[in-house]
Structure 1
Amino acid sequence: MPPSQRSVYAKTSRFAVSLGALGGFHADPRALATLTPPPIFAQLLRDERRSLTEGEVEFRLWLGPLPLTWLARHEPGPNPDSFADLQVRGPLAYWRHEHIFREAPGGVELTDRVTLAHKPGLRGIFTRLVFDGLPLRILFAYRHWRTGRALRK
């Protein structure tokens, strides 16, 4: 998919924890379910990550009765304290989600940056309704809220 047909979304939040705590939360296999907002249900099918920056995860998102299976490859992100997951197989034409961690005054800053592109036709219409615009903003607002809540426990 040419870069000109991709869009980028980013959300940044600060948390009063260490880089290690934020990374540990994301490394936990339960994080996917924790960060998936209702009414979507996440089902982990296979987790072959060797670290946050290496390996693959296969999961299924249930949107009501509709299953969406996703295979993501984890790889290094844009800085040493980050990682990315790249959709290898899934509902979109392209999806790269960078989880960027940075030290910040009083804790850490998390930036979720997603670069995405849609498939043509009905699939593209569907993914625009579920994974773009307002739904994408709601998804990441929820994810950052849940991350903060989990880190405060």
Structure 2
Amino acid sequence: MKSYQLKFKQVLPISLTAAWDFFSSPANLAKITPDDMEFIVTSEESEGKMYPGMLITYKVSPLFGVHLNWMTEITQVEPEKYFIDEQRFGPFKFWHHQHHFKAIEGGVEMTDILTYGLPLGILGRMAHEMLVKNKIKAIFTFREKKVIELFG
């Protein structure tokens, strides 16, 4: 399986605690996801704080209006430093998403490191080049703009 890695950084003029409180709440994920993805968190405990072993379920329409169920598990949490989510079932063959937070002068630096793989061998590699890579980048570009809108 071929794997891919994308890295995104953003600086926000808010405290580390405010950033952590927002991004570590699964309920807020829908607020920073493009509307066309029809992203809905379906887990009952999505309002609470995350913890290692927490399973989060979603409904999502990533491409062409196809609706999918997706489940991720929060595998590691170090409060106000990082958390990691991994796909348990969903559209990817492999999904490992690190969310890092660091206090800096005037705010917080957030870094996302996403490592993923697609199913279907060569067809998955072709889909990555033609669709998936650009879709993921567009999602993070939207997220960056939305977070600026929310926090300045």
Question: Normalization by structure 1: what TM-score?
Answer: 0.82
Map of 1:139 onto structure 2? 139
**Displacement of 1:148:** 2.3
1:32 to 24, 29, 33: 29
SS at match of 2:61: strand
With over 3 angstroms needed to count, the CA separation of the structure-2 counterparts of 1:57 and 1:126, relative to structure 1, is farther
d(CA) in 2 for partners of 1:127, 1:35: 25
Map of 1:148 onto structure 2? 148
Q: Which runs of 5+ in 1 are unaligned?
A: none
With over 3 angstroms needed to count, the CA separation of the structure-2 counterparts of 1:71 and 1:148, relative to structure 1, is same
Pairwise CA RMSD? 2.5
Map of 1:59 onto structure 2? 58
One-letter identity of the residue aligned with 2:118: H
One-letter identity of the residue aligned with 2:50: L
Map of 1:7 onto structure 2? 4
1:17 aligns with 2:18: no
Residue by residue over 1:22-73, the C-alpha shift from the partner in whole angstroms, topping out at 9 and shown as x without a partner, is 1111133431211111311111111446633421100010246411111000
Structure-to-structure mapping, 1:53-92, within 5 angstroms: 53-54=51-52, 55-63=54-62, 65-76=65-76, 81-92=81-92
With over 3 angstroms needed to count, the CA separation of the structure-2 counterparts of 1:12 and 1:43, relative to structure 1, is same
Aligned residues: 148
Residue by residue over 1:93-151, the C-alpha shift from the partner in whole angstroms, topping out at 9 and shown as x without a partner, is 1011111111112110011110010101597369625532x222111111122122222
With over 3 angstroms needed to count, the CA separation of the structure-2 counterparts of 1:35 and 1:127, relative to structure 1, is farther
Question: Normalization by structure 2: what TM-score?
Answer: 0.83
d(CA) in 2 for partners of 1:22, 1:121: 38
SS at match of 1:111: strand
Is the 2:25–2:49 Cα contact (8 Å) retained in structure 1? no
Percent sequence identity is 22
